[in-house]
């Protein structure tokens, strides 16, 4: 079956099977910034924005995303670079596998919540797991980024 | 997972017709657990174009469409305000926002997931389910229905009651199922208590509630007797997360805490 996605601002046609997940559709079409971590709705590495909302692409059937606007880090490169600066400054990066998903979630958080509390920030990004850096440096980097965006 | 066809229904009538014409046709909610359940599906029926994704405050009750995501439910003004926010608080502890933007209220309720942090607090309220074609039942009746239903869940209706709620999920991290969850709601006339993830699904503690609500004052002795009635009348079990004994201890502690909490102003 065929679906159309507005991928990073550009309408694109994809040939998919009914049991195909968006994660696989994107990766098959060279959007390899979208990472396949757990493939079981648990790690957040596959996060993308669908109509502006962060979602786990490993859990969204491609057929269901038909007609939606899908954003990966390539679509908001400038903002992601800015977020990455704060991560670099705080030493919040190591292997980088979780970064794409986390950066998209932080970008959405900044749009979604005005003056979030520490608890709200944690509840928002808790599904984006990191196995290297620990979370404290990431949390400080996120707070500094949000402060900068005010 | 084998899915032959994906169909975005244009009406509930069409969805129902598809659902009933082949036992291998199923409705998709959020689709989070679809991959893990590995079904062999002929046609997957999608309801996302049927305007079932709204939470509407009707004054006396709140109407929640089956396709409302957990995140939209969590942040809706009326849900946040209900019972001092205990409905929202419960949801906010389920994985991250990327998960909650995919999972739906209808998919969770229809699936009767025993570990659900959505169903447990809902069961402590006067909650009713609306199905297509014309069928209504309370959430408790639905949870007690063991047979497969061919009706389509379209809405969950919560009667708006003034009161105070308490919800607690026992889990080491947000990304694991509850070892136990407890909801208590005080509408200032009666207290309702629900225990879920026992590991079986959530249940109202009728005997304990009946006793508690007859007492003029809630003393430590009354709390002890309430949780004893819970233990006498509620089945707990063991699984990979916890033993029956541990769950019973947890339930006693958090039910008592919940009752105390909803009695404070």
Q: How many CA atoms lie within 13 A of B248 on its CB side?
A: 14
Q: Which residues of A touch B93 (CB under 8 A)?
A: 123
At B32 the pLDDT is: 87
Taking the Cβ of residue A141 and every Cβ of chain B, the question of whether any pair is shorter than 8 Å is answered with no
Options 3.40.50.2300, 3.30.365.10, 3.30.465.10, 3.40.1000.10; CATH of B55-159: 3.30.465.10
Q: Is residue B215 within 8 Å of residue B198, measured between CB atoms? A: no
Q: How many CA atoms lie within 13 A of A122 on its CB side?
A: 11
Task: Report the DSSP beta bridge partners of residue B195.
Answer: B182, B203
At A10 the pLDDT is: 97
Q: How far off is chain B from A115, nearest CA to CA, in Å?
A: 15
The segment(s) of chain A belonging to CATH 3.10.20.30 are 2-74
Q: How far off is chain A from B2, nearest CA to CA, in Å?
A: 6
Task: Verify cis geometry, omega within 30 degrees of 0, for the bond prior to B133.
Answer: yes
Q: Which two tokens stand for residue A141?
A: 């980097």
- The answer regarding whether domain B3-46 maps to CATH 3.30.43 reads yes
Are the Cβ atoms of A123 and B92 closer than 8 angstroms? Answer: yes
| DSSP state for residue A49 in the 8-state scheme | E
At B66 the pLDDT is: 98
pLDDT for B186-201, tens place per residue? 999 999 999 999 999 9
Write down the architecture of domain B164-263 according to CATH: 2-Layer Sandwich (3.30)
Q: Which residues of B touch A55 (CB under 8 A)?
A: 98, 101-102
Round to whole Å and give the CA distance between B85 and B88: 5
Round to whole Å and give the CA distance between A47 and B175: 15
pTM of structure: 0.94
pLDDT for B72-124, tens place per residue? 999 999 999 999 999 998 898 888 899 999 999 999 999 999 999 999 999 99
Is beta strand B127-132 parallel, antiparallel or unpaired with respect to B61-65? unpaired
Task: Give the number of A-B residue pairs with CB atoms closer than 8 Å.
Answer: 89
pLDDT tens string, chain A, 150 residues long: the values are 999 999 999 999 999 999 999 999 999 999 999 999 999 888 999 999 999 999 999 999 999 999 999 999 999 999 999 999 999 999 998 899 999 999 999 999 999 999 999 999 998 999 999 988 889 999 999 999 999 998
DSSP run (H or E) holding A12:
strand A10-15
Are the Cβ atoms of B5 and A18 closer than 8 angstroms? Answer: yes
The segment(s) of chain A belonging to CATH 1.10.150.120 are 76-149
Nearest CA in chain B to A62: B6
Q: Is the pLDDT of residue B156 over 80?
A: yes
Q: What is the mean pLDDT of residues B176-192?
A: 96
Q: Is A27 strand, coil or helix?
A: helix
B57 Cβ contact partners less than 8 Å away, ≥ 6 residues apart: B63, B77, B78, B160
Are the Cβ atoms of B96 and A61 closer than 8 angstroms? Answer: no
User: Which of the pair, B92 or B8, is modelled with greater confidence?
Assistant: B8
Tell me the domain boundaries of chain B. Answer: 3-46, 55-159, 164-263
Q: Which residues of B touch A44 (CB under 8 A)?
A: 96, 98
Taking the Cβ of residue A128 and every Cβ of chain B, the question of whether any pair is shorter than 8 Å is answered with yes
Nearest CA in chain B to A48: B98
pLDDT for B127-140, tens place per residue? 999 999 999 999 99
Which fold, A76-149? DNA polymerase; domain 1 (1.10.150)
Q: Which residues of B touch A56 (CB under 8 A)?
A: 98-99, 102
At B41 the pLDDT is: 93
Q: Which residues of B touch A47 (CB under 8 A)?
A: 98
Q: Which of A110, A49, A104 is nearest to A77 (CA)?
A: A104
Q: Which residues of A touch B97 (CB under 8 A)?
A: 54, 105, 108-109, 123-125, 127
At B35 the pLDDT is: 81
Q: Is residue B117 within 8 Å of residue B177, measured between CB atoms? A: no
Lowest mean pLDDT among A123-127, B34-38, B177-181, B225-229: B34-38
At B37 the pLDDT is: 78
Are the Cβ atoms of A18 and B44 closer than 8 angstroms? Answer: yes
A62 Cβ contact partners less than 8 Å away, ≥ 6 residues apart: A3, A14, A16, A20, A21, A22, A24, A25
Classify residue A51 as left (phi > 0), alpha (psi -120 to 50) or beta.
left
Please tell me the CATH code under which domain A2-74 is placed: 3.10.20.30
At B95 the pLDDT is: 87
| Per-residue pLDDT band at B148 (split at 50, 70, 90) | confident
Round to whole Å and give the CA distance between A98 and A100: 6
Round to whole Å and give the CA distance between B108 and A73: 30
Where do we find the tokens 């009767």? B112
Q: How far off is chain A from B146, nearest CA to CA, in Å?
A: 27
Query: What percent of chain B stands above pLDDT 70?
Result: 100
pLDDT for B234-264, tens place per residue? 999 999 999 999 999 999 999 999 999 999 9
At B146 the pLDDT is: 83
Q: Is the pLDDT of residue B176 over 90?
A: no
At B174 the pLDDT is: 75
């Amino acid at each position: 079956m065929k679906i159309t996605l507005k991928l990073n601002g550009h309408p694109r046609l994809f040939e998919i099977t009914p049991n195909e997940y968006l994660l696989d559709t994107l990766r098959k079409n060279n959007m390899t910034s979208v990472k396949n971590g757990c493939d079981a709705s648990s790690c957040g590495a596959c996060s993308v924005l669908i109509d502006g909302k962060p979602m786990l692409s490993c859990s969204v059937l491609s057929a269901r995303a038909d007609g939606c606007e899908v954003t990966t880090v390539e679509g908001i490169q400038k903002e992601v670079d800015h977020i990455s600066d704060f991560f670099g400054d705080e030493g919040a990066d190591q292997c980088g596998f979780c970064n794409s998903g986390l950066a998209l979630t932080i970008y959405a958080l900044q749009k979604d919540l005005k003056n979030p509390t520490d608890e709200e920030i944690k509840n928002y990004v808790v599904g984006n797991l990191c196995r290297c850096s620990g979370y404290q440096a990431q949390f400080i980097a996120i707070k500094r980024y949000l402060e900068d965006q005010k | 997972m084998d899915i032959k066809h994906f169909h975005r229904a244009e009406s509930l009538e069409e969805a129902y017709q598809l659902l009933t014409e082949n036992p291998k046709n199923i409705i998709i909610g959020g689709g989070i657990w679809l991959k893990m359940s590995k079904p062999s599906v002929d046609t997957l029926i999608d309801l996302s174009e049927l305007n079932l994704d709204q939470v509407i405050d009707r004054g006396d009750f709140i109407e929640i469409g089956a396709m409302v995501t957990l995140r939209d439910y969590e942040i809706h003004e009326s849900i946040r305000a209900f019972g001092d926010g205990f409905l929202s608080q419960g949801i906010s502890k389920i994985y991250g926002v990327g998960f909650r933007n995919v999972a739906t209220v209808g998919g969770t309720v229809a699936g009767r997931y025993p570990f659900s942090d959505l169903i447990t607090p809902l069961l402590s309220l006067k909650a009713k389910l609306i199905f297509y074609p014309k069928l209504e039942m309370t959430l408790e009746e639905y949870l007690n229905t063991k047979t497969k239903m061919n009706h389509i869940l379209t809405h969950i209706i919560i009667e708006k009651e003034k009161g105070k709620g308490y919800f607690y999920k026992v889990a080491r991290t947000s990304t694991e199922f509850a070892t136990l969850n407890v909801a208590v709601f005080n509408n200032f006339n009666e207290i309702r208590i629900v225990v879920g993830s026992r590991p079986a699904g959530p249940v109202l503690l009728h005997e304990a509630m009946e006793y508690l609500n007859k007492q003029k004052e809630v003393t430590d002795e009354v709390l002890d007797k309430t949780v004893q009635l819970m233990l006498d009348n509620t089945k707990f079990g063991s699984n990979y997360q916890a033993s029956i004994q541990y769950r019973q201890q947890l339930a006693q502690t958090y039910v008592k805490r919940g009752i105390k909490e909803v009695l404070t102003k």
